[in-house]
A and B are shown apart, each in its own frame.
Chain A
Amino acid sequence: MNRGPLIRKILVYAVYVLLIASFQVTFPRVISFGGQVADLMLVFTVLAGYLFGFKDGAVIGIAMGILRDYYASPPITGIDGKPVVTCAIGLLVLFLAGTVGASFFTVKMNRNVLFAFAAVAFLTLCYKIAGHLAFFLWHRLALGTTYNLTFGDIILHSILPQLLLNLVAAVPLILLLKFAGPYKKGINTALIDEEKGGEQLWLTI
């Protein structure tokens, strides 16, 4: 890649990553509904991976994950019953979101905007289900306590509002990445070259 586009890519990603992460933890109420907050960090990471490829997804996932852990690391109840501030959980979640998002339906299908929404929905579901499952198992097996959320609570008060919010948040973020994103015309040409000879297809919209 030439130096110009590379610098543009790094600068645009750096600005978006810092602003989006800061905005989410500073004004969560502005983007909340039904007790959930639109997960801009997750959505941006998934979209960067889906629209611009595996490397972008992995790098943005790591950068966003580090900021997530720095700004709002999840406190978990330790085995001694005391809450502990953890590190690297945000990094793990967003690295997986970026890399899996980059591989979502790309083997036999074109990368396109419609499937970008599907990727956001799929990874939001995965994240919420995995999160609840992890907390359930941790409470049940490690702490010997009950995880008080019923299946209905999880669906109605956690997964559905989060899914809705993330899909709504995906609209401006897709526009941002397509029209004011890290690549000219919203297309990663390296991705086209990379996948030309392979079985994968490239972005058409």
Chain B
Amino acid sequence: MRGLLRKKWLIILIGALILIAAVVFGAFPGSPLNKTLKPVGGIAAPIQRVVKSAGNTLSDFWAAITDGIAIRNENEELRAEIAELQYQLTQSEEALIRYEELQDAFHIRDTFSNYDIYGASVLSREADEWFSVIRIALGNTDGIMLEAGDSYAVVDVRMNLIGRVIEIDTNESKILPLTHEGFVVSGKVNAVNGAGVTITGDASLKNDGLCLVTGIDPDVILEEGTEIVTSGDGGLFPQGIPIGTIESVDYSDPLNITATLRPYTDIADLNDVFVMVPFSVIEEQTELRESGNLTPTYESEVSEESGS
């Protein structure tokens, strides 16, 4: 036995076979293997936060030195701008009161008003082109949960779509980015009765930060710069979230017209994101929790079992 263990290739082979078995077993919904990495977070997560904080401090320090003169000039301009903005703010407040009166009067339905927004900072980004899950600091402890078959839209500060939540843990969530080939969302041209399209991530476009647009009606002429927003079909995403603009269209095959879309947001530039959770889901989960049928622990299990 000792002789066998000295053979490196045998050890590599046995190790590889065990790990392949773990990968396959771990891919099954609800596999207990997926929980084995949770204790790692006890050490890895705080250290990564320290690295992030140290990096940001260094970056800020460097920026403070290089941008010193520019900041001084900018400061003068900003003071003038603040005075202007204060005047505009007063006017906007009046306009808001009028808008709310109108909204009540005409029963305008603001789709996003049905959603609660949870802010979170980005903890880690992709390690390479395949290891591309993004972790954010938002978990069950923040009151956000994920039930089987559900997912929540993730947007940036300008409400542009970034991706969707695929797993929620106690203190953090995992996001599938918009450019990943597993990502699919129904979209439409941002116009009244705009044509519907399907936006997916694509392996060949991912490195350029682009998405693939399919399902384009042959009668529809898509132009470069056309804005695409979520259509609301499928129920996962609310209608009207900006996704990006059309960058190019390929009409070479009339039966399969495709286009490329450049998302508005590059996730590599983001430090904070926002998760949109429907109020109906929050209420439902609150009721279940109060009745004792839904606990954060159970919730984590549910999200793992769903696998999406």
Contacts and interface: CB of A to CB of B under 8 A. Distances in A.
Interface of A: 18-19, 21-29, 32, 34-37, 39, 41, 54, 58, 66-78, 82-92, 95-96, 99-100, 102-103, 131, 135, 147-150, 153, 157-158, 162
A90 B132 CA distance: 12
19 contacts: A19-B47, A26-B125, A29-B269, A34-B207, A37-B129, A58-B11, A66-B37, A66-B40, A70-B40, A71-B48, A71-B127, A75-B180, A78-B307, A85-B166, A87-B34, A96-B12, A99-B8, A103-B8, A158-B207
A54 B5 CA distance: 12
B16 interface: yes
Contacts of B40: 66-67, 70
Q: Nearest 3 A-B pairs (CB), nearest first?
A: A35-B207, A83-B182, A25-B124
A89 B128 CA distance: 13
Interface of B: 8-9, 11-12, 15-16, 19-20, 22-23, 26-27, 29, 33-34, 36-37, 40-41, 43-44, 47-48, 50-52, 55, 124-135, 166-167, 174, 176, 180-183, 202-209, 212, 268-269, 307-308
B166 A22 contact: no
B127 A87 contact: no
A6 B259 CA distance: 58
Given A70-B44, A75-B132, A92-B19, A84 B308 contact: yes
A87 B203 CA distance: 21
A85 B50 CA distance: 25
A148 B294 CA distance: 42
Contacts of A102: 8
Contacts of B22: 87-88, 91-92
A35 B208 contact: yes
Given A21-B48, A103-B9, 15 more contacts: A22-B48, A25-B126, A71-B48, A71-B127, A72-B131, A73-B131, A74-B130, A78-B27, A78-B307, A78-B308, A87-B34, A100-B12, A148-B202, A148-B204, A149-B204
B131 A90 contact: yes
A84 B174 CA distance: 11
Contacts of A41: 127
A96 B182 contact: no
Given A25-B48, A75-B166, A153 B204 contact: yes
Nearest to A25: B124
Given A78-B27, A83-B176, A131-B130, A26 B268 contact: no
Given A95-B16, A100-B12, A72 B127 contact: yes
